[in-house]
Amino acid sequence: MCLSIPAKVEAINGDKARVSMSGNEYRADISLIDDLHEGEYVLLHAGFAIQKISEQHARETLELIEEMNRVNKGLK
């Protein structure tokens, strides 16, 4: 199963970006997305931004992931 995670674009330098998620920062290749701007959200998979998404969709998805983590910790 593949999983992509929402990330916020913090800075862009050519076809690379610094993105943040859950308080952590990563470098991402953004060459697959046209017309991307700082402050927008993307789905990040294996170091590649694969799709732009809305801030609302990003927040909802991150909340669901956090809830799954809380449930998973309770099952151990």
pLDDT band for position 73 (cuts 50, 70, 90) = confident
7-23 burial string, b = 16+ CB within 10 Å, else e? bbbeebeeeebbbebee
- Which range of residues forms the domain containing residue 31? 5-75
The pLDDT score that the predictor gives to residue 2 is 73
**Number of separate domains in the chain:** 1
Supply the CATH number for residue 36's domain: 2.30.30.140
CA distances to 20, 38, 75 from 29, in Å? 13, 14, 36
DSSP state of 35: S
pLDDT tens sequence across 40-72: 999 999 999 999 999 999 999 999 988 988 888
